[in-house]
Amino acid sequence: MNRLSLDDLEGSLNAPLQALYILHGEEDLLRIEALDALRTAARQQGYLNRESHTVEGSGFDWASLLAEAGSSSLFADRKLLEIHIPGGKPGKQGGDVLQALAANLPQDTVTLLVLPKLDKTQIQSKWFATLAKYGTILEAKAVTPAALPAWIRARLNRNGLNIESDALALFAERVEGNLLAAKQEIEKLALLHPGGHLLTMADAEGAVAEVARFDVFQL
């Protein structure tokens, strides 16, 4: 099994892409960013023909997917084949097809399977084990409250900004673990301040919005 952390993904994309990636996990923002990075790398490496299939319900045509996966483009372009399973459960037929596909990956194709957070039973299933045997696993793990300040600081640094400790604590408190909100606030701060700026408590109080979550009674 080849596992690759999302932090290491960007650097790996300078090398030729793997034939199969399995992207799963509960953190939507990180999963979306990884998917975008893989798509960009695929285009840069000549995988110009992109096919995307979304498995919804029991009526999905798995046999057709397997046939299309092995078909060549009319113009012989390299292909990026995306298979999205929002529910995380391909079923018996789908599991068999995924195993067959993984064991006989099509030439000139990068296959990308996109899944949500998987439970223990799904991870221990035969179809997932077969995918893991032949592919690279990418997991979009949730950022814990304890790790959130470091995540925010790293993102700010990537945008040329630094931040005081008390301002960082306020930032983390206000976004409440919502990475999409944190990303938006970081992008806003990068527009408001020049590179190299040290964000203070006043900067954070003035720019970072309250990203409150309410239960029905509070609302």
Give alpha helix (H) positions in 24-119.
Answer: 28-44, 62-69, 91-103
Residue 75 binned pLDDT confidence (cut-offs 50, 70, 90)? low
Interval 147-153 mean pLDDT = 96
C-beta separation of 204 from 163 below 8 A: yes
From CA 219, how far away is CA 205, in angstroms rounded? 24
User: Has residue 114 got a pLDDT over 50?
Assistant: yes
pLDDT at 211: 54
User: Has residue 4 got a pLDDT over 90?
Assistant: yes
* CB within 8 Å of 205: residues ≥ 6 apart: 170
pLDDT at 212: 47
pLDDT, tens digit (0-9, with 9 covering 90-100), for 188-215: 999 989 888 999 999 888 878 655 444 5
Q: What pTM does this model have?
A: 0.88
pLDDT at 219: 47
C-beta separation of 185 from 209 below 8 A: yes
Interval 103-128 mean pLDDT = 94
DSSP class of 73: P
User: Has residue 73 got a pLDDT over 60?
Assistant: no
pLDDT at 1: 65
Interval 140-144 mean pLDDT = 94
pLDDT at 115: 97
pLDDT at 155: 95
DSSP class of 219: -
* CB within 8 Å of 172: residues ≥ 6 apart: 145, 148, 149, 152
pLDDT at 210: 55
Where does residue 106 rank: exposed (0-12), middle (13-18), buried (19+ CB within 10 A)?
A: middle
CA-angle at 140, arms to 18 and 205, nearest 5°: 135
pLDDT at 58: 78
Taken in order 204, 208, 209, 213, the sign of the CA dihedral is negative
Neighbours of 113 (CB within 10 A): 22
Residue 68 binned pLDDT confidence (cut-offs 50, 70, 90)? confident
DSSP class of 5: -
From CA 83, how far away is CA 88, in angstroms rounded? 11
